[in-house]
A = this chain, B = another copy of it.
Amino acid sequence: MPAIQPRTLKGFRDFPPALALVRERMVDVARAVYRSYGFAPIDTPALELAEVLLAKLDPGAEIARQLYRFVDNGGRDVALRFDLTVPLARFAAMHVQDLGVPFKRYHIGPVWRGENTQAGRYREFLQCDFDTIGTTSSAADIEVALVIHDLLVALGFERFTVRVSDRHVLAGIVEVLGVGDRTGGVLRSVDKLAKQGPDAVHAELVDVVGLTSGQAADVLDAASSDLDAVVERFGASDRVAGGAARLRELLEVAAAVGIPDGRLAVDLSISRGLDYYTGTVYETFLADLPTIGSVCSGGRYDDLAGLYTNQSLPGVGASLGLDRLLAAMEELGMLGAETTGAPVLFVRFPGVALADLHGLAADVRRSGVGAEVYPDVKKVGAQLQLAERRGARVAVLAGPAELATGVVKVKDLASRTEAAVPRSALVSEVRRVMGG
């Protein structure tokens, strides 16, 4: 019996190659898109002083109870970060003077929350955030929507909608209806529209928020109206008109950069539950995976780092729920079977010098195609079987007979056809098979 039972902690998971390869590619895609808009990476420690992480939370907040918090060997009260926004606030307070504004950063890294575990939810997950801080320009808000769009396309999705609103529009309507003191409650209720439906939200607006039935109907009507109808009815409000103008500018830019119809939509019912957001808000839904909710969400906030610095740092950004997306793709069988980093396997034969095989493999690698040499001298069938199981695409068979006559056999593992070619034609034959 082994001395220790090998296991992971409840709510944590291993990423075997089939998952980790896909996750790495998703991260690569996210980075490339963020960089292409001028966002630059930062990283911050996984562990922070608890007082830094807790600064913005109510002591009774759920997230505070979910913290991995402990006293370190130096007697410090520390905790694992639960998001990347608080570390950004702390980072900005310390470094933004040196870095200048507008400061555009992305940050991809794990965060930890001791949540109750459910399907697709883990206690450690990767956040992929990007934010522009230090500017109130609506150009930054518009850019966030473009980045979300390009991100989803680059990840391979076509059927999705980035839904955008500006909280000032709904807040202005609430003011016009004479219940401006209830704005927070109204926005929190309207946020539930997609999940709970209009009847439930109407009831909540009346019973909990305290609107009249007519006011509740007006709010719900506006939230599901298009921009023109809202401006016609409520456009006398500067707040409504300002928000609507910003959303229209966004739609103009989306058209100018060629975003197809339907991918980016104004949806005044999007309000995000958090009081944190103060302007534009974003949610992103996949047509083929509606049940997982928004996969990329965010918004504008007025003051990122007020608890750590006197400098006012407004900003706007969003966060890609990469691990949630990955778990959903896994559940839906959307992941491939590829578990090797190299598509080409050199079969090892007895009587062939490793130097010969590695010389050939190095040629393939130098052409930009990954190639591995099977380490053990085993039956050819067993070597090929492992290669196929791992998703390799090409096997090279160069036994003593082949090498003596200056040829190598190149086998297409998908079609199971093989061709004998001169050694000098190995790379071109491998590339031909890979391209086919």
Contacts and interface: CB of A to CB of B under 8 A. Distances in A.
A341 B93 contact: no
Interface in A1-37: 1-10, 12-17, 20-21, 23-24, 28, 31, 34-37
A118 to B, nearest CB: 16
A142 B42 contact: no
Contact of A376 (B72, B100, B139, B376): B139
15 contacts: A1-B310, A2-B309, A3-B307, A7-B49, A7-B52, A9-B76, A10-B74, A15-B42, A16-B42, A17-B41, A40-B340, A40-B341, A40-B390, A143-B375, A258-B362
A9 B49 CA distance: 6
Contacts of A380: none
Nearest to A136: B376
Given A14-B95, A24-B41, A256-B355, 9 more contacts: A4-B52, A7-B49, A7-B52, A7-B94, A14-B91, A16-B98, A104-B340, A252-B353, A256-B358
B47 A112 contact: yes
Contacts of A65: 73
A12 B40 CA distance: 21
A78 interface: yes
Given A34-B341, A135-B375, A341-B34, A73 B255 contact: no
* Main secondary structure on A side of the interface with B: mixed
Interface size class of A (residues with CB under 8 A): 35 or more
Nearest to A316: B375
Interface string A61-90: 000011010111110101010000000001
Contacts of A43: 14-15, 20, 23
B139 A45 contact: no
A399 interface: no
A342 interface: yes
A137 B375 CA distance: 6
A111 to B, nearest CB: 10
A35 B341 contact: yes
A61 B37 CA distance: 48
A255 B150 CA distance: 46
Number of copies: 2
A46 B124 contact: yes
A349 interface: no
B45 A12 contact: yes
A39 interface: yes
B99 A17 contact: yes
A144 B16 CA distance: 21
Contact of A40 (B21, B76, B106, B132): B21
A293 interface: no
B142 A358 contact: yes
A1 to B, nearest CB: 8
Interface stretch (A226-234, A235-243, A364-372): A364-372
Nearest to A250: B354
